[in-house]
Structure formats: structure tokens, C-alpha cells
Chain A
Amino acid sequence: MLRLALADLWHERVLFLCSALGCAAVLAPLIVLFGLRQGVVAGLRAELLEDPRAREVVSIVNRTLEPALFARLAADPRVAFLVPRTRALSATIVLENQARPGRGVRMELLPTGPGDPLLPGLAAGEGLVLSPTAAERLGLRPGDTALASVARSVGSAREVLTLSLPVASIAPASAATRDAAFAGVPVLLLAEDFLDGNAPVDARPGTVEASRARPFAGFRLHAARLEDVPALDRELRLAGIEVASRAGSVAGLLRLDHNLALLFLAIAGAGGAGYLVSLGVGLWAQVERKRRDLALLSLLGMKRRALLMLPLVQAAAVALAGALLAFGVAAAVAGVLNRAFAGTVAGDRPVCLLTAGMGVAAAGVTLAGALLASVLAGARAAAVAPAEGLAEG
């Protein structure tokens, strides 16, 4: 059966090549189009995603936010990371390298916690994560010990709280461009309590658990997905909490993504439908042409199912060869496009992104369409009375 089908194809190899080429000619631009959509949108999206700030939502006005709010936010599946912060004015410390006494630098103290997207793979633990500029100015390296001090005036006297904290690591430049130190919430709370006069000079940071019961002035959170940023932004504002986020640009990207998807869907839909129709009629014509041979085989006693397999095998061969050819052409075009547009449209990402999955999908759709068309045509041909094979001879 298979031998018959393939012998026929081989005998008419020029025609077979034509059908496969025709199939590829329509399919290749569709694949390129799809690759472009993937490349452009995926590129923009990845660029935004790579920047942890894109998913960040920060409260900007000092308020008194109760623990219940934090519990509710932490339980929200759209929130991937949440850390409370103290009042901005009380989150300032002077940091000093133990080896270079007297050359302290005043900097912002920022809250962090396990899994902070701003510090991927890094953890402050009981110590500090320094911004690159701060680490450079102080000459501190991971493993060194830094002295952090906060000063307050009690009457005319000046009291200083000094903590000796290990430097856990250096933050990436994207986390903080100015001089800053990331520390766990208990360190920030201690600084605030000390400034408020609620802690003695020899106090030490409490535990994370203890800090959960306290109200905070604000927070920083990161949404789980880019799509969640606009909604979280809106809901927090509605709840009366003033926040800053990139909701605007994220919404813009999402709109672009959506519109591009629609556009591509429209073009690909029209092209794809045309493709399947042309593939279908081509195969239908091929079966019609083979009617006499099929009738003859039927007359010689070939069963209907075997008879149906003939056009089916041939259609599958055309479809697979066509899809393979199309993917080859598309890959070549994609290569040219990527070289031509390198670094202009989607950064250093490929403009046209072709994956093996797309190739399999293209082959699958083609195969399904081809088989459908040839089953319909084949069923018609197989229903022909076997007598036709004798009558026309």
C-alpha cells in the first residue's frame, strides 16, 4: 500500500515537487509573519520583564498601614513580593568601613526580604546588601563588616546607635543607582524606633515575626505578572493609598501586544484559510486525477480502507515536504531579517523568532488540513463503483 503510494509519487515526482512548492510558497510567509509577531512582542515583553522595576508598585505617601492590610496584600496571588517600609525620613543611616574610620557616607536604608526581585539571587539576611556606588565609595566587599549608625538629639545631648553589620553582597546596578543599603525590616524598624525615642542606645534589631505585628508607613510590592500591574495600581489608589508604578507603560505594552495579536490573527487567519483552501483543492484535484487508478485498484479487489490510504499517504507526503520546505525558507528569511534589523527594533533580541515548536505546529496544521481534504476527496473516489475501472479501461 505504502509502496504503491510512494511509487506513484516517485513516478510523478515533478508534480509532487510542484505541489510541495505550492504548499511551501503560501506557508513560508505565514511562518515569517508569525515569527515576527513572536520576535517583536516577545522582545518588548522580555525587555520590560527583565527590568524588575516594571512590576514594582511603591506607596509614596507616609501613612499608618495596619498589619491586616499587609496580610491581605501578601495573600493576593497577584503579588509576588511584598516588603513594608518605615518613614522615609527615618530610613537614613551613616555607613562606615571599619578599616577606614571617620569616612562615613550618609545613605538611604531600603527594606528587603527573601525573594526580592530587585536583588535576584541575593539575600541581606541579618546584614546588608550595598548598592554598587555605596560599596565602591566605602571600599567594602562581600564578607566585610560595615558600621551603621543613626544619631538622635535628646535635649542638647547627641546619642548614636551603632550596629555592626556584615556586607552580604553587592546589589546589581538596576536595583539602586544612588548610594543605598538594603537591609531586613527589623533593622529599619530599629532605626525608626531609635529616632522616635522608643529604643535605647544599646538596642538590637528584633525578629521578622515581631515586626509583622507592627503598622508601617508604606510598602514596596512586585506583581507576579506584568498584566497585574495596572490592576493593582488602580485598586490601591481606589483604596486611598497613593502609589507609583509603571502601570501606564505596562498598559501601553499590553495594548500593543493585544493589538499586534489581533492584527497578526487577522492576517494569519486570512492567509491561513487561503492556504488550507489551496492545499485542499490541490489535493482534491490530485485525487480526481487518480480516480481511474483508484477504480482499477478497487476492481482488482482492493478494500475501501486501503484505497483511502492511497490519497491519504500522498497528501501527507506533500504536506510534510511542503511544511519542511516552508520552514526552511522562513528560517532563511528570518536570518536575513534578524541581521538587517539587528539592534534596532527589539534590542539585541531577534526580530523574527522561529522555534521548533512553531515548525511542528505548522507541519501539524498543514498535515491536518491535507488529511481532511484528501479524506473528503478520497472518500468520494473510493465510493466510485469499481466498474469504472473496467468500463473506461
Chain B
Amino acid sequence: MSSLLSLREVAKAYRGDAAPFALEVPAFELAEGEALALAGPSGSGKSTLLMMLALALPPDVGRFTFAGSDIARLWREGRRDALAALRARRIGVVPQTGGLLPYLTVAGNIGLTQRIAGCEDAARVRMLAEELGIGAQLRKRPAELSVGQRQRVAIARALAHRPALVLADEPTASVHPELADAVLALLKRECDQAGAALLVATHDPERAARAGYPVLACETHAPGADGIARSVFARASLVEAA
């Protein structure tokens, strides 16, 4: 299995709710098609890591490659359009509460990533919608849907353009606990089927484990002498593990 995501000695300073935090990723690997849950208490930097992996936040230091591209260099050189193009073609995102555009129909929202990536495929939009049980809602606006249905629209949108990596930030935070298991299982099943790697940030590692995800828990360190709290996400590299 080749490595889709590879981070080395990456650090990112950020402001948490109150105290300054530092996110550290000594080593992190994710293989193509692999699923992983990132677990940690709220404010531990999971979302920040996820945004960094979504090519939406620059790392402060470190090496970072994604799908063969040197992401750290693209950020350093300020090539935002190249990063946007990578996001558009290779990454799917499921925001916490769906993040759907209210003025587009369900079909328009699902097809949005296809349009941005320039690979429109109405048949795939219909197929995903059928599979996620929202085939009957394609012509409706997001406001007419239930929270669970909206979440499924967001999942379909994240998969519509056949990305290599799907990132989901607390996809179960706003749904009913019973629905949460279903959403996690659905995400994993769809990504497996599409061959996409999947990273889910969650504060509930047991639920993720129940849904069949390997879990990477973050180590949190209380503020040291410098007053900065640290969160560390470390995952032995594939090479080292072998």
C-alpha cells in the first residue's frame, strides 16, 4: 500500500478557546483507501489537524506530502490556486453540520464538488443519493430536509467527485446518538466502495471503534514552562511498521 498522506515533524501553533495551543505531528501516515478515526477531547486540535490535512491551513513547519505533492512547499510559495485545485480534485470534506448551500437543491449541492472539479456526472449523483437513501429528496432544498438527511447529502457531496481522501469533522456531533452509528458506518462503507481514504475527527473513540475504525488518540500535555499546552498526534510510519 502506498502512502497517500505523509507528515513529518509538523507543528502548528494556534489559539484554542483560551490558552495558546501547539499541535505537533512527529510522524503521520495514511495509506490509500485506509480509514482512521482521530480521537481527542474537544479543543485538542483534531479540527486544526483536519483542516491542515484538508489543505485549508498551512503548517508552521515540517514536511507534508499528499498524493505525491509537496504541500508544505505549495504553502510556502503561496500557490493557493494549486492548493485549491488539489482540494477540488482529490479531497472531499464533510463539515460538522453539513455546510450545504441553502440556495441549491440537494442534487445541486451533491454535484457542486463535481462542478468545481470539472467532472460533472449526474448518474453518480443519483447513484450516491440512492445509496444514501436520499434519492427522493434530490429536487428539494436543504431547508426541507432533516438533520440526518442533510448529513447524508454532505457525505454524498464529499464523494461525488471521486476524491482520494475524505475528511469528516465530527460528522456525528449534530445527529441523534442512534443516527451517529449509522452515519459513521455509512461513511466507512461509502469510502470503502469508492476506494477513498477516510479520516474522521471524533471526541467519541468508542463509537468509532464500534463502527470498525482504527482509532488514533491524541496525547495531550498540560501547559509546560512556556505556558503552551501541546497536543501530539503520532502514527508510526508504514515503512517503520513494516
Number of interface residues of A (CB under 8 A): 24
Cβ of B101 and Cβ of A390 under 8 Å apart?
no
Cβ of B88 and Cβ of A7 under 8 Å apart?
no
Cβ of A300 and Cβ of B56 under 8 Å apart?
no
CB-CB under 8 A from A12, the residues of chain B are 103
B86 at interface by CB-CB < 8 Å: yes
Complex CA gap A297/B85 in Å reads 12
CB-CB under 8 A from B230, the residues of chain A are none
Cβ of A301 and Cβ of B169 under 8 Å apart?
no
Q: Which one of B56, B80, B96, B108 contacts A299 once the chains associate, using CB atoms below 8 Å? A: B56
**Which B residues, 91 to 134, have Cβ-Cβ distances below 8 Å to chain A?**
91, 93, 95-99, 101-104, 108, 112-113, 116-117
Number of interface residues of B (CB under 8 A): 32
B27 at interface by CB-CB < 8 Å: no
Q: Which one of A10, A303, A305 contacts B85 once the chains associate, using CB atoms below 8 Å? A: A303
Q: Would A301 and B116 be within 8 Å (CB), given that A387-B51, A391-B47 are in contact?
A: yes
Q: Which one of B51, B88, B103 contacts A10 once the chains associate, using CB atoms below 8 Å? A: B103
B89 at interface by CB-CB < 8 Å: yes
Cβ of B81 and Cβ of A7 under 8 Å apart?
no
Cβ of A389 and Cβ of B84 under 8 Å apart?
no
Shortest B113–chain A CB gap in Å is 6
A72 at interface by CB-CB < 8 Å: no
Cβ of B103 and Cβ of A301 under 8 Å apart?
no
CB-CB under 8 A from B188, the residues of chain A are none
Q: Could you count the A-B residue pairs with CB atoms below 8 Å apart for me: how many are there?
A: 82
Q: Which one of A300, A305, A391, A393 contacts B87 once the chains associate, using CB atoms below 8 Å? A: A300
Cβ of B101 and Cβ of A293 under 8 Å apart?
yes
Cβ of A390 and Cβ of B169 under 8 Å apart?
yes
Cβ of A386 and Cβ of B56 under 8 Å apart?
yes
CB-CB under 8 A from B80, the residues of chain A are 304
Cβ of B47 and Cβ of A300 under 8 Å apart?
no
CB-CB under 8 A from B81, the residues of chain A are 303-305
Complex CA gap A301/B51 in Å reads 13
Q: Which one of A300, A304, A387, A391 contacts B116 once the chains associate, using CB atoms below 8 Å? A: A300
B159 at interface by CB-CB < 8 Å: no
Complex CA gap A298/B108 in Å reads 17
Residue of A296, A301, A305 with most chain B CB atoms under a 10 A cut-off: A301
Cβ of A386 and Cβ of B87 under 8 Å apart?
yes
CB-CB under 8 A from B102, the residues of chain A are 11
A385 at interface by CB-CB < 8 Å: yes
Q: Which one of A10, A389, A390 contacts B50 once the chains associate, using CB atoms below 8 Å? A: A390
Complex CA gap A8/B93 in Å reads 22
B35 at interface by CB-CB < 8 Å: no
CB-CB under 8 A from A389, the residues of chain B are 56, 93, 95, 99
A277 at interface by CB-CB < 8 Å: no
Q: Would A296 and B85 be within 8 Å (CB), given that A386-B56, A387-B57 are in contact?
A: no
B54 at interface by CB-CB < 8 Å: yes
Cβ of A7 and Cβ of B108 under 8 Å apart?
yes
Complex CA gap A296/B47 in Å reads 15
Cβ of A301 and Cβ of B89 under 8 Å apart?
yes
- Nearest B-chain residue to A5, judged by Cβ: B103
Complex CA gap A296/B96 in Å reads 12
Cβ of A390 and Cβ of B47 under 8 Å apart?
yes
CB-CB under 8 A from B96, the residues of chain A are 390, 393
A302 at interface by CB-CB < 8 Å: yes
Shortest B157–chain A CB gap in Å is 8
Shortest A80–chain B CB gap in Å is 62
**Which A residues, 303 to 347, have Cβ-Cβ distances below 8 Å to chain B?**
303-305
The 3 closest A-B pairs by CB, nearest first: A301-B88, A11-B103, A393-B96
Q: Which residues of B contact A (CB under 8 A)?
A: 47, 50-51, 54, 56-57, 80-81, 84-89, 91, 93, 95-99, 101-104, 108, 112-113, 116-117, 141, 169
Q: List 12 A-B contacts (CB under 8 A).
A: A11-B141, A297-B116, A298-B84, A299-B95, A301-B113, A301-B116, A386-B54, A386-B84, A387-B51, A390-B51, A390-B56, A390-B96
Q: Which residues of A contact B (CB under 8 A)?
A: 4, 7-8, 10-12, 293, 296-305, 385-387, 389-391, 393
A298-B56, A302-B88 known; 7 new pairs, CB 8 Å cut-off, are A11-B141, A296-B95, A300-B93, A386-B56, A386-B87, A389-B95, A390-B99
